[in-house]
Amino acid sequence: MDRDATAAKIAALIEPFNKKGIAITDATTFAGDLEFDSLTVMDFVAAIEDEFDIIISMNQQAEIETYGQLVDAVVKLQG
Amino acid sequence: MTDLFSKFDPLIEQRRALLATGVTDPFNLTMERVVSPTVAVCNGRETILLGTYNYMGMTFDPDVIEAGKQALDDFGSGTTGSRVLNGTYAGHRAVEEALKEFYAMDHAMVFSTGYQANLGIISTIAGKGDYIVLDIDSHASIWDGCKMGDAEVVPFKHNDIEAMEKRLKRIPEGAGKLVVLEGVYSMLGDIAPLKEMIRVAKDNGAMVLVDEAHSMGFIGPNGRGVAEDQGVLDQVDFVIGTFSKSVGTVGGFCVSNHPKFEIMRLVCRPYVFTASLPPSVVATAATSVRKLMHAGNKRAHLWENSRTLHKGLRDKGFELGTKEPQSAIIAVIMPDLERGAMMWEALLREGLYVNLARPPATPAGMTLLRCSLCAEHSAEQVQTILGMFERAGKAVGIIA
């Protein structure tokens, strides 16, 4: 799956977690802009893992701060 | 200069705001005198202890105390050394023998605390390129063990067998896998479906570590824990336990049937690079572990206490962490931290100590009043406790 198609799927998945309806760009941060707490992160990561059939370990999550980094990571993890 | 403490400002402010309401600091209580496993003097008044994890009430057992005194006389106050240098005394061997018998397992390794047992075993056995799959509600010592090691860490939703299975199946072919579970989860007092989870773990080629800190001594036919109770202890590769709950002193351990287990003593840094437990501590632990092998009546009474308290609190209208009593922990759910602290203080004024638990230790941001029962609580004390909860709950407005 290319970056655009992956990004489109992630955009649909993040919607229920984007409670404040923030406009999301590649620079949007999960902790700062979206105010995700640890439980939201777990549920959101689980939704992405299930959709793409991948694992995003906590070690990898630590490197992902922005929406753009997440899309890049998911593209890469799909191999 | 950047003040390295500025990162703690939000917590300092939360604490200041809480104490400004006039409530007693719930995280700074002093036990001025301890009368028995169930009674202490706090703020000058006699207080029933309902938040100590002293499940089997072994802290004042005469045989346990005598063993400790004898060891102080015979071996001195401390070992001043690592287990692998000058810190292994006859008592350390003896308590490891007691644990091997207690669990009917081939190997036992004693650490200076339960925290270090998880920290040491998890960080050492799961290395670079390996995967640790663990429950999201795992204890801090498990998370810290993961953080200290180099393995990939993959959490799954609490007690969710399917979520665990999906993650195991996605792990790359050939990678080492460790599944980490707990028998009893200490915040809500709920147990894990170990039978199903361990089957799934084994089907997917994983080794299994189960922390039985909150079940030792009273769950399972021989008090070996939830895995024994569900008939799957023989499938568990590593059991982690502690001396600071049912055993009634301090220390941690791992028991295992792994044929190469003894090498852990040389490669596990939290075992090697710290002083071993004092002789009096291992002597009290060994005596207590052996007595726990024959504690059927005490176990039965502890379960009676747990059922009575659970039903009594539920009938009075309190919201509890589990529908049925699953362990000796009963968690009472509070609406928020402020009212939780008020209720905690009202109970203390009544003469009852419970644990106030709050995020990040608790799941889902909950504030809990965590009650842990003791086999030495009398039936009358449990009724007294229920009366205290009723009066405090009405005064604070938690129940109608």
Domain coordinates in residue numbering, chain B? 20-56+296-396, 61-292
pLDDT tens digits, one per residue of B167-224? 999 999 999 999 999 999 999 999 999 999 999 999 999 999 999 999 999 999 999 9
Domains in chain A, number:
1
Q: Does A57 touch chain B (CB under 8 A)?
A: yes
Give residues 21 to 50 of A whose Cβ lies within 8 Å of B: 37-39, 42-43, 46, 49-50
Query: Token pair for residue B164?
Result: 């665990």
Contact B204, B198 (CB under 8 A): no
CATH label of the domain that carries residue A26? 1.10.1200.10
Q: Is B306 helix (H, G, I), strand (E, B) or coil?
A: helix
DSSP character string of B85-150: TT---HHHHHHHHHHHHHHT-SEEEEESSHHHHHHHHHHHHS-TT-EEEEETT--HHHHHHHHHS-
Calpha distance B22→B29 (Å, rounded): 15
Calpha distance B226→B40 (Å, rounded): 30
pLDDT tens digits, one per residue of A17-53? 998 889 999 999 998 999 998 888 999 999 999 999 9
Q: Is B54 helix (H, G, I), strand (E, B) or coil?
A: coil
Residues contacting B122, CB < 8 A, separation 6+ = B132, B142, B145, B146, B148, B149, B178, B180, B209
Domain that holds residue A57: 3-77
Q: Write out chain B's pLDDT in tens, 400 residues.
A: 999 999 999 999 989 998 898 888 888 889 999 999 999 999 899 999 999 999 999 999 999 999 999 999 999 999 999 999 999 999 999 999 999 999 999 999 999 999 999 999 999 999 999 999 999 999 999 999 999 999 999 999 999 999 999 999 999 999 999 999 999 999 999 999 999 999 999 999 999 999 999 999 999 999 999 999 999 999 999 999 999 999 999 999 999 999 999 999 999 999 999 999 999 999 999 999 999 999 999 999 999 999 999 999 999 999 999 999 999 999 999 999 889 999 999 999 999 999 999 887 788 889 999 999 999 999 999 999 999 999 999 999 999 8
Q: Which CATH superfamily groups domain B20-56+296-396?
A: Aspartate Aminotransferase, domain 1 (3.90.1150.10)
Asked if A58's CB is within 8 angstroms of B154's CB, the reply is yes
CA distance A51 to chain B (A): 12
CA distance A44 to chain B (A): 12
Q: Does A58 touch chain B (CB under 8 A)?
A: yes
Report the candidate in B203, B208, B194 with the shortest Cα–Cα distance to residue B161. Answer: B194
Calpha distance A58→B167 (Å, rounded): 13
Q: State the amino acid at position B44 in one-letter form.
A: G
Class of domain B61-292: alpha beta
Closest chain A CA to residue B163 = A46
Contact B57, B297 (CB under 8 A): no
Exposed, middle or buried by CB within 10 Å (0-12, 13-18, 19+), for B240?
buried
